[in-house]
Amino acid sequence: MSSEPAIEDLLRDLAPQVLGALVRRHGQFDACEDAVQEALFAATVQWPVEGIPGGPRSWLLTVATRALVDHWRTDSARRRRETSAALDPTDWSAVNVHDMAPGEEDTLALLFLCCHPALSAPSQLALTLRAVGGLTTAQIAAAFLVPEATMAQRIGRAKQRIRDTGTRFVLPPPTERVARLGVVLHVLYLVFNEGYTASSGPDLHRADLTTEAIRLTRLLHRLLPGEGEVTGLLALMLLTDARRTARTEPDGSLVPLAEQRRDQWDTTAIAEGQALLTRTLGAGPIGQYQIQAAIAAVHDEASAAEQTDWPQILALYDVLVQVAPGPMVTLSRAVALAMVHGPIAGLALLGTLDADDRLAHTHRLEAVRAHLLEQSGDPQAARESYLRAARMTASLPEQRYLTRRAALLLSALPSATDPTES
């Protein structure tokens, strides 16, 4: 890969535009994607030596088209050829995408294509990062901690799947648009989450995922500035990522929100997130990302943990459980409930989650319970819960943190512990 960051950034920006233009002209998403990869590779080899051409986008398009035609000369490619997907201009106008530059329309269609419901979530993520994000297969593989060959297969199969659905290169019809946009947002949210939860630790590849998620969401926000949930998601990412530095100790272990050094929070990102939120709240029906962003904003407003406006956070969770109900939301609401009405109230709400199968394999229910038991003055039960949570988590930094919290309660126990395995 090019050692020149300026060229690499330029190629990453142009890649989806070139791919979009090619697919719009010729259909055959998978063959076009291969051709674009070849053109990008040629650029990384030639541009550092010969300089960036005057019209880099045209250069890439020309080289990619040539590669595509070469590919068609083989018999197998000719047999697989489909009718080209011509773009119907009326589709665009129905989706309110006036004033978009041609490249931007293609990129938006590409984003929807990569998040096609026929693909599994891991495939959607990988294909989006590749085709719209312009990351190499190696970079994506490193980010998701799988071997490169595995990721190459995943992307190859995803491309074939797209081809097999026979999807035309147009935006989904207005009746499907809201649902499909929801899928796109979910994919971007997963990319962000993958990078954020893994960002405690020495592997910088994973922190790059949050940067990439923000970059793609910014792009989507530029394309669809009127969509409240897109704005909400961007705000949520900025307000959450603002805490990244404070969230990790040098040795990779986690610092919980209540203990973070808030002077390490990124005030620029927080300001931008708050501004986005102010513009979008109340401008239309509210969605889950806007509410989550609002919750993040309340946290980020507090100069110290003790200043946190928990009643406001609880009120926002009361809305979130109606807009996007689910066990994880209830779990987070229980934390807020405990901060406002005391740990017993929070523990009672947790009790309603014990029968929920969806939480059976996550350590989080146990971890929250442990924390509330500790606050309610039951160190024995809290310690047992912390150890149970420590055993259930797949994250090593998380396990270390929970083990330490369990150990801290030893001195609070009434007598010597019974050395049984629990």
Partner 1 sequence: MKYMIMMFGGLGASLENRSPEWITNMQTTMMRMDGELRESGEVVDSQHLMAPSQADTVRFQDGAPTATDGPFAEIKESLAGYWIIEGSRERAIEIAAQVVAVTEYPMEVRRIMDQSAQE
Residues of the shown chain interacting with partner 1 in the complex, contacts defined by CB under 8 A = 202, 251-253, 387, 390-394, 396, 399-400, 403-404, 407-408, 410-411, 416-417, 419-422
Q: Which region holds residue 96: left if phi is over 0, alpha if psi is between -120 and 50, else beta?
A: left
Q: How far is the CB of 251 from partner 1 (least distance, A)?
A: 6
- Least distance from partner 1 to the Cβ atom of residue 391, Å: 4
Alpha helices (H) along 75-120: 75-80, 89-94, 102-114
| DSSP β-bridge partners for residue 254 | 248
197 vs 395: CA distance, rounded Å:
9
CB nearer partner 1, residue 54 or residue 250: 250
| Least spacing, CB of residue 208 vs partner 1, in Å | 20
CA atoms within a 13 Å half-sphere pointing along the CA-CB vector of 250 = 0
Q: How many other CB atoms sit within 10 Å of the CB of residue 355? A: 8
Taking the least distance from each CB to partner 1, the nearer of 306 and 421 is: 421
Closest CA to 158 of 287, 33, 293, 343: 33
Residue 10: CB minimum distance to partner 1, A: 34
- Measured CA to CA, the distance from residue 144 to residue 207 in angstroms comes to 11
Alpha helices (runs of H) in 376-413, residue ranges in sequence order: 379-392, 396-408
Q: Tell me the chain's radius of gyration from C-alpha atoms.
A: 24
| Least spacing, CB of residue 410 vs partner 1, in Å | 7
Using the minimum distance from each CB to partner 1, give the nearer residue, 258 or 396.
Answer: 396
Which token pair is 196? 């954020």
Identity of the residue, 256 or 326, whose beta carbon is nearer to partner 1 in the bound complex: 256
Label residue 163 exposed, middle or buried (CB < 10 Å: 0-12, 13-18, 19+): middle
Between 258 and 407, name the residue whose CB sits nearer to partner 1: 407
With respect to partner 1, which residue has the nearer C-beta, 276 or 387?
387
- CB 361 to partner 1: min, Å: 9
